[in-house]
Amino acid sequence: MRSAPAVYAGGRRMRGGSATSEAAAAGTGRGAPLASLGTYLELLLVTLIWGGGIVAIKVASEGFAPLTASALRTGLASVAYVPLLAVLTRGAPRPQRGDLPAFVLLGLLGFFLFNVCYFAGLARSTATHGALIWGANPVVTAAAAAVVLRERVGTAVLAGAVVSTAGVAVIVLSSTRPATAHGATLLGDLLLVGELLSWIGFSLVSRVVMRRFTPLQATGYACLAGFLMLAPMALLEGMTPTSLAAAPGRAWIAILYSGTASVVLAYILWNRALLRLGAARSALFSNLTPLWALLLAHLIESETLAPVHALAALLIIGGVLLATLRRTA
């Protein structure tokens, strides 16, 4: 039987078809060592950083126009990724000219469209709605992979996707009525759904790209491509030294946090935990992200937590748990 193609995680050569497949097996196979307490604490920190990132985007969207904020966030992340790519991918295959379209597509989906929908959506909605809609990401991505990439998933994943999608529908429809909108608008929530869909597309294309390249390469080069798309658009939008200087300090702090902690630091910690704990158990921790975001949105932005939010959270997180717990049982 023909062996699986070699891929690389960092500078190490691995077998198994993707840089994450061995990590997933490491944490879920029989006899795998228990992860240390430090690994669990790192995963907890990652979900807190990502939850705070949703609120940070909301804060930044109040001080910057969408394309400007997207370019600043992606530009900061790109500056951080350049040395990481140089140091941590030694020995990994280098992208060739024929790989350029794949990385451009990743940049378009995961950094251009994702960020524009993210910032524009939260400027017209609330961090609470953003957190709830984003909470459907893991299970809806898994269901989309089954349809698009023909990946095998169980009925629990498909059922979980339906339940989580129902939760997204509840939160989006709530924005159509003033009594239940609580500051959100239908356009804002639809843009946040667009953010979710663009990330799902990014995730699906990434799975194909990571058959040859590491997760760090896929994300880092996509980030650079996305910044090259966003920068000229931000200039056309009116980004100037004067407009940047006029932005409040609170918005700048949010951009710095989002572009470094959310996009770079949390990513590194997440992938390190994947290697130790495995993908299946790590995915359970990602369910905490929307919960952190809901709490922080209430504490920092004084957003209202209403019964409709509780119903949507129950459906979205319940759907994710339905899928992930059955897969790890």
Please state the pTM of the whole predicted model: 0.78
Ramachandran quadrant class, 248 (left: phi over 0; alpha: psi -120 to 50; beta: rest): beta
Window from 60-64, 84-88, 141-145, 259-263 with minimum mean pLDDT = 141-145
Burial of 133 (0-12, 13-18, 19+ CB in 10 A): buried
For 6, phi and psi rounded to 5 degrees? -80, 140
Mean pLDDT of 299-323: 83
The residue among 157, 258, 141 whose CA lies nearest residue 196 is 141
Where residue 325 falls among pLDDT bands split at 50, 70, 90?
A: low
Identify the bridge partners of residue 6 per DSSP, sorted by sequence position.
15
Task: Name which of 112, 121, 104, 77 is nearest 234 in CA terms.
Answer: 112
pLDDT over 70 at 34, yes or no: no
156-202 pLDDT per residue, tens? 878 888 888 888 888 888 877 776 667 788 899 999 999 999 989 99
